[in-house]
Amino acid sequence: MNSDDESVATIHTDGYPYLDPLDRTLKCFRREAQTDGTYAWKIRASTYIFDVTDNGNETTIESEFVAYSPLQRLVSRKCRDAGGSDALVVATGDAAQLLKTQIDRTNSVKGDTGIDTSGTWDPCPSQTVRWERKMMAEAATDLTSAFNGFDLIETPVDVQTGKLAMLGATPRRGGQRIGIKLGYQAAPHNVKTFKGENHGTALANDLEGFGQTAQESDTIVSTQSDAASIGRYGTYEDIYTSPDAADQATLDQQTINQLAQRRGIVPVVQLGLQEGAARPPWVDEYGNQSWDIGDTIASLAVGKRVRGGMPYNGVAFRIQGFDLDIDEEGNETVSNLVVAPAGL
């Protein structure tokens, strides 16, 4: 947008421009069909503006910005115990509740992150953690990515309380969406570009996980291997270190998850779609549930010219991300999908 546009350059009452990093938030609304035939505005993004770039040439000056969900704030917040100390946090219980507790504590002790934890927190598997001056984003990654971990559900909100999103959790979000059928050099021929990354350098099928190592006597070990992978590729060993895992069960969960992700050549696929190949996300034109991140697509067909289609056909893929392009008339086009095997 033009840097001298009033929506960018106007000086607000706090003395800073309307567009300014960290001083401003962004809310995005979408006019969506309802099942009764009416339309309503639905908030689909509520974010902090983190980065602003001003670019000028001889005739024009433009400003671009990047906005992230309030979960980005967890990168710069530390885990704390009940007394507010970040030195050592030891906790056991429902893994999602462990994260909820940390967000509530940082909101209380260090100021609001913009995250409201009053969403729905479904029961999730138990974990035991031992965090020493641990950043919350890293802790959240550890908790969610453990074997039988959980998925976060972030819902943007339109309120004036400083909250931008309501957070909850569930063991696994999403479902199968039969309305998305994609094919590259195969029916229905609606994928324009295809990129499948298959990295053998990341393979590991014989893992030794190490947990709490504050003292040698405290060390716990989890040895995990996959016979089928070893039979096909040979043995590829690696060491996984989790100094925050304070009990055997938690270390086992984390090491098993590492093994599940690395025991095979796992394709991550980027698809450039033809217009109309995938209906817009969230709700369809009739107000019914459409699709979102976490859903599994019903069909991805890849022609035989791509190594016989073997690495991709017959694999259930889960949506990891997408690009939603919006033109000046408000028309939406899903231009790119990023998918990975649904079992991960």
In the predicted structure, residue 305 carries a pLDDT above the cut 60: yes
Q: What is the largest CA-CA distance in the chain?
A: 69
CA distance 54 to 65: 9
- pTM given for the model: 0.87
- pLDDT of 268 reads 93
What's the Cα-to-Cα distance from 7 to each of 10, 11, 232, 244, 252, rounded to whole Å? 6, 10, 59, 46, 53
What's the Cα-to-Cα distance from 228 to each of 16, 200, 205, 276, rounded to whole Å? 61, 16, 9, 40
Predicted confidence band of residue 45 (pLDDT cuts 50, 70, 90):
very high
CA distance 147 to 227: 19
Portion of the chain with pLDDT greater than 70, in percent: 97
In the chain, alpha helices (H)? 6-9, 95-110, 136-145, 227-233, 248-262
Locus of tokens 């040979």: 234
- pLDDT of 128 reads 85
* Mean pLDDT, rounded, of the chain: 92
In the predicted structure, residue 343 carries a pLDDT above the cut 90: no
- pLDDT tens digit sequence for 87-124: 999 999 999 999 999 999 999 999 999 999 999 999 99
Which tokens is 9 given? 């350059």
What's the Cα-to-Cα distance from 240 to each of 132, 145, 262, rounded to whole Å? 18, 14, 12
- pLDDT of 215 reads 58
**Could you give the count of Cα atoms lying within 13 Å of 317 in the half-sphere of its Cβ?**
27
Region of residue 191 (phi > 0: left; psi between -120 and 50: alpha; otherwise: beta): beta
Q: Residue 144, SS3?
A: helix
Q: Where are the domains of the chain?
A: 6-24+44-67, 72-170, 176-198+266-341, 201-262
**Which of 205 and 132 is assigned the larger pLDDT?**
205
- pLDDT of 19 reads 95
Pick from 80, 75, 157, 171: nearest CA to 119: 157
In the predicted structure, residue 218 carries a pLDDT above the cut 70: no
Mean pLDDT on 262-283? 93
Phi and psi dihedrals of 17, rounded to 5? -60, 160
Mean pLDDT on 52-65? 94
CA distance 60 to 62: 7
- pLDDT of 241 reads 87
- pLDDT tens digit sequence for 258-272: 898 899 998 999 999
Which tokens is 264 given? 């095979």
- pLDDT of 130 reads 86
Q: Residue 54, SS3?
A: strand
- pLDDT of 216 reads 55
Mean pLDDT on 192-199? 95
Architecture of domain 176-198+266-341: Beta Barrel (2.40)
Using the 8-state DSSP alphabet, how is residue 216 labeled? G
- pLDDT of 342 reads 87
Which tokens is 257 given? 């998850």
- pLDDT of 217 reads 62
Region of residue 9 (phi > 0: left; psi between -120 and 50: alpha; otherwise: beta): alpha
CA distance 277 to 281: 12
Q: How much of the chain is in helix, strand and coil states, percent to nearest 5?
A: 20, 40, 40
